[in-house]
Structure 1
Amino acid sequence: MEFMKKYLLIIAALFSLTSCLDNKLDESFKDINEVKRWENIEESYSVYAGEEIVLAPQVVLTIDSLNPELEFEWYVGTELVSTEPTYTFMSNNIGTHNVTFCPIDKKSGMHFNKLIRISVQSQYETGWMVLSEEGNKSILSIVMGKKEETEDKVEYLNYIGVRKDIYPLHNDGQSLGSGPRKLVEHYVQDDYATIPGEIMVLQQDQPLELHGFSMEREVFVSDEFLVGIPSNFNVVDATQSASGGYLLNADGTILYKKNYDLEAYHVGTYSDLPLFDGKKFKSITPSIYPQTPYLLALDEENTLYGIWEKESRPTGDFYYNAELAPFFTEESDVDMSLFQNIEGKVIGSGFHHSDSYVTIINQNGKYLMNNYQTYPSGSRGNRSVKILESRIHEMSASMFTDFVDMAVLPYRDYMLIASGNTLYFHEYYRDNFKEGVVKTFDHKITSIAFKDFNPYRHEANAHVAVGLENGDLYIFEIDDDDMTKTTPLFETHDLGKIVDVIFKYSSWGDVKYGYF
């Protein structure tokens, strides 16, 4: 009986101890501090290289929310960079940086972490580049764009300022050159490439290429020839492909360079011998789509060809890495007279979908839009371009009374036409072919450009830039549902006589997929 009493007393004591422990544990858990909310801090920021941003977050805890006893740690990546309540971030390294704010509860030793992503971009990474002329002097300017997010995580492009005549700032005060003609951006054609696109400046004086982020001169184009430049070297247009570069000379000949490294620039040289035995061309039109293995070219006899690169990757065959591919069709309703020995004047061409182009032809004051889909055909040494479909539509002649420029927007199913001081639109893909006036300006238009967002990736209307003869530049958004409605985004003035405007994408992925 005595043993049983002792046994019961031990059990009771154990129950009492367990109850006390439970109560203490409950109290302990109740006393643990937690984050109630973060204040004065965003999930992400976007800054330019060299630009400072002061981070001064506040943490509200569940206990001692008014006067918490805290210590602080700041990490960039895994490196401890500060133990102060605030941190000033600055970096010249382009890319996304992970910054962690770590307040520490001194009472409990609990650490709380807040991850902040900071995107550092070059001030020249994206935006609108403008080539203009002042006293025959070439001037390069940029409207800077910054990629930002709304509170709902919707990306958008914000234009924040303009920098005029930027070349001397980054090239020891030297002038860019004279006789400005055109801007061309080209890229390492790899979806994951981190090398920025380069800017080729075409001008009467030495054409040259600039680094896409620093705007420092990379090379004079004349220095990239194997055995010296041709005596008639005078470049009026240029384009780059995955494995080669093309220069259209003023005399109509095309000079070719093969790239020996697809993930770098300036590792190939131009031949002084023109392609195709010196055959002459009026224009070359590239496609952004890698599955289109040819450029569109119009020869001096008004016949369209594809300039086909024999290999998707460079080979040892330097001089003959490009092949001239004639157009043909097996469709009875395709009018080949609109492709070969075309009657009249070809106003211009532009791509809009993979292997698909629009060409506008003036036949004695009658303006025809030829919208055609093609397909690569043949094998190496016997390449051709097959026409699958051709749709012809007559456009209003009034849009071409003082024709200046045209642009085909691949994601919007309409093109823009600049004539005099008026910007027009014309649908090329819809059956009703609606057309009309987008905007009229006070001075003559000299150049138009666009940034067309992929609607499957971004819910954004196209952005358009219009450069004027008097040096004004207007950037606006065109309403998808009513192209006569526009929303102003940015304007700047006194840029000199504007010669050319382009949107600067900086990377092949942005171009190919219609990213910001």
Structure 2
Amino acid sequence: MKKSLIYIFILLSVMACLDDKSNYDYKDLNDFENWDRNGVSNVAGSYTLYPGEEILLEPKVRFSIDTLNPDASYAWYLGEEEEMTLLSDQLNYTYKADQIGKFTLLFCATDNKTNVTFTKELTVSVVASWKNGWMILSRSAGNESQLSMILSKKQSISEIVDGKEVSRDTVVYVGENINVVPSLGRGPRKLVENFIYPTAIGMQVEDEVMVLQESGPVELDGNELTPVGYARNEFFDGIPDRFDPVDAVLTFDGKWLLNSDNYIYMANLSVAIDLHSGFYLKDPSLNGKKVKTLLPYYKGEDNYLIVGIDENNTYFGIVNDGECIYNTTDYVIGPLNNVGACAEFREDYENDLLKEVKGDFIFHAWANEANYYTPPAYFSILDQDGVYLWHYYELDYREENDKFRLMEEGSESGQIPASIMVDYKCMALFPWHEWLLVASSDRLHFYDYWENRIINLSSFPHFNSEIVGLAVKDYDSYYGTVNAHLAVALKSGEVYVFEVKYDSELEVMELVELYHKDGFGEIVDIEYKFGQGNKPGASSMY
């Protein structure tokens, strides 16, 4: 409403000035036809700051006339709609990030001859420095766990397109914090992020990070990265013998630990915004079912299934359908749910890629954004005596005669070229672009599995050490305007981050280096930290 009033005021001011023919001629008026493009420079459309940071905004104003010495007044306002607050009446303004949130700044330049006001809107996002970015888990010389972060910000940058300067948003990397959690533990294994998808109006919950290690899992606050929970302290009836979790799935309403003896321990949460509102039981879940693998879980909307592979190399599901009680403000998870129920295939079901699978799995990833119309999809790589098969499949469940049945909604498979699997180290999936990235020793290979073709690189990055970890922040961009980011971890303790740019006409991939740093130690795991439950999806650049 305020913006509309401002523009109405501008229009009325212009009309009044045109009627006053004794003072001004139409051709001598400053105009705002090209104001957004040419009128204000030296300030971006958006900024990202960490708490306590300051930024000096020094706009350069260019009117269509009086360009050298304009007779003008300036002002900065905070907010929009009915809550605009005057911050400054000077051309330059220093903004200080006092609190976390997203804020709107309005810059106004008034031509004193005509009282016409020109405006430019800026967005400032204030985020915790460890909210988003790349997490690196390393092992020290004494086997201590060390967690480090590569810091990122969203920033507007200028580019020349068709001879004209245009602005676009991108993510930049502004440094790193190494070993941010003293005395974290020993024997690092894996990182898992736990965040809640905001399914209820007004729901606010911070993410957490679980560090799996030999000394026991620890959960860290997503902003401060300080310990907020230990799995050993969350058992209701005592810690199991040989309690030694090696993997975890963290969901909307539960936490699932896969132990080294292939048993699963479950904590069923009672409050959606409290990730420690439940407790584990000493007895294994799923009636003592032995489990080899828990698949990565897409923590988005409408995903009510955890997928695993049991000791018979057969897929199964765990129902995860808890939801908040309708129209309440305490976000209690309703008791009428089936969380923890096991879903298995019928006895007569036959698919040798899903039941009694022959071979060894070497890679699993989530492969889509589950929603009301599409069940969750997964992508796996199977090693069958040196023949590598990729498998894309959708799994869901249904209730049938008081039992839950795992259902296959769709399935595609193919064979990976042997040439890119020589000296294989690790893999990563670009879920929106449908590419598979394979690391072989110190080389990277992009593979389009739907088209069964290796994608050529315009130039090969030269690494001085073998690759030990890959992580991807992919984007589902309808117009292809947003490129994925890729992190590569090396045995030497170095980490690279690249922008992945694909030329569809030339069918060539380019890796643009955005960040490179060594000194991370012996890297055990690297993951992108999304920060919120809606961030892995389509429109979340940062």
For the residue of structure 1 that corresponds to 2:224, the secondary structure is coil
Write out aligned runs for 1:424-439 (5 A).
424-430=445-451, 432-434=452-454
Partner of 1:365: 386
Residues 226, 270 of structure 1: 8 Å contact kept: yes
Residues 1:166 and 2:180 aligned together: yes
Q: Which moved more, 1:261-270 or 1:179-188?
A: 261-270
Q: Which moved more, 1:455-464 or 1:406-415?
A: 455-464
Residues 129, 502 of structure 1: 8 Å contact kept: yes
Q: Deviations over 1:84-139 (max 9, x none)?
A: 44321111322222223456677887766543322222222322111111111212
Q: 1:345 aligns with which of 360, 366, 371?
A: 360
Letter in 2 for 1:486: L
Q: 1:188 aligns with which of 170, 188, 196?
A: 196
Q: 2:521 aligns with which of 496, 499, 503?
A: 496
Residues 204, 273 of structure 2: 8 Å contact kept: no
For the residue of structure 1 that corresponds to 2:185, the secondary structure is coil
TM-aligned CA distance change 1:483 to 1:231, over 3 Å: farther
Residues 318, 339 of structure 2: 8 Å contact kept: no
**How far 1:297 sits from its partner (Å)?**
0.2
Residues 458, 515 of structure 1: 8 Å contact kept: no
Distance 1:72 1:450 in 2: 44
Residues 1:229 and 2:243 aligned together: no
TM-score (norm 1): 0.82
Distance 1:263 1:182 in 2: 24
Partner of 1:454: 476
Distance 1:103 1:369 in 2: 59
TM-aligned CA distance change 1:282 to 1:50, over 3 Å: same
TM-aligned CA distance change 1:266 to 1:179, over 3 Å: same
Residues 1:239 and 2:264 aligned together: no
Write out aligned runs for 1:176-325 (5 A).
176-190=184-198, 194-288=204-298, 289-313=300-324, 314-316=333-335, 321-325=339-343
Residues 509, 515 of structure 1: 8 Å contact kept: yes
For the residue of structure 1 that corresponds to 2:475, the secondary structure is coil
**How far 1:501 sits from its partner (Å)?**
0.5
For the residue of structure 1 that corresponds to 2:223, the secondary structure is coil
TM-aligned CA distance change 1:107 to 1:183, over 3 Å: same
Letter in 1 for 2:307: L
Distance 1:477 1:105 in 2: 43
Residues 417, 424 of structure 1: 8 Å contact kept: yes
Distance 2:130 2:18 in 1: 63
TM-aligned CA distance change 1:315 to 1:490, over 3 Å: same
TM-score (norm 2): 0.79
Residues 1:421 and 2:436 aligned together: no
Q: Which moved more, 1:127-136 or 1:393-402?
A: 393-402
Q: Which moved more, 1:473-482 or 1:489-498?
A: 473-482
Residues 1:128 and 2:134 aligned together: yes
Distance 1:24 1:240 in 2: 67
For the residue of structure 2 that corresponds to 1:511, the secondary structure is coil
Q: Deviations over 1:361-404 (max 9, x none)?
A: 22333333333333433348411222244334233455555443
Identity among equivalent pairs (%): 30
**How far 1:336 sits from its partner (Å)?**
2.0
Letter in 2 for 1:154: R
| Alignment gaps of 5+ in structure 2 | 1-16, 33-38, 159-165, 325-332, 369-374
Partner of 1:139: 146
Partner of 1:470: 492
Residues 227, 271 of structure 1: 8 Å contact kept: yes
Supply the RMSD in Å over aligned alpha carbons. 3.4
Letter in 2 for 1:27: S
Distance 1:110 1:385 in 2: 66
Residues 1:46 and 2:48 aligned together: yes
TM-aligned CA distance change 1:256 to 1:409, over 3 Å: same
TM-aligned CA distance change 1:91 to 1:137, over 3 Å: same
Letter in 1 for 2:429: V
TM-aligned CA distance change 1:111 to 1:452, over 3 Å: closer
Q: Deviations over 1:132-167 (max 9, x none)?
A: 111112121122221123443432222222221222
Residues 75, 89 of structure 2: 8 Å contact kept: yes
**Alignment length (residue pairs):** 485
Partner of 2:351: 336
**Higher Cα radius of gyration:** 1
Q: Which moved more, 1:117-126 or 1:58-67?
A: 58-67
Partner of 1:386: 407
TM-aligned CA distance change 1:403 to 1:39, over 3 Å: closer
Partner of 1:26: 21
Residues 72, 104 of structure 1: 8 Å contact kept: yes
Residues 1:511 and 2:528 aligned together: no
TM-aligned CA distance change 1:306 to 1:402, over 3 Å: farther
Q: Deviations over 1:56-108 (max 9, x none)?
A: 33545678765566665443333334444432111132222222345667788
For the residue of structure 1 that corresponds to 2:535, the secondary structure is helix
Residues 291, 310 of structure 2: 8 Å contact kept: yes
For the residue of structure 2 that corresponds to 1:222, the secondary structure is helix
Letter in 2 for 1:240: L
For the residue of structure 1 that corresponds to 2:286, the secondary structure is helix
Distance 2:479 2:237 in 1: 46
For the residue of structure 1 that corresponds to 2:21, the secondary structure is helix
TM-aligned CA distance change 1:390 to 1:27, over 3 Å: same
Residues 29, 65 of structure 2: 8 Å contact kept: yes
Partner of 2:425: 404
For the residue of structure 1 that corresponds to 2:392, the secondary structure is strand
Residues 216, 245 of structure 2: 8 Å contact kept: no
Partner of 1:15: none
For the residue of structure 2 that corresponds to 1:146, the secondary structure is strand
TM-aligned CA distance change 1:268 to 1:57, over 3 Å: same
Residues 18, 25 of structure 2: 8 Å contact kept: no
Partner of 1:395: 416
Partner of 2:169: 155
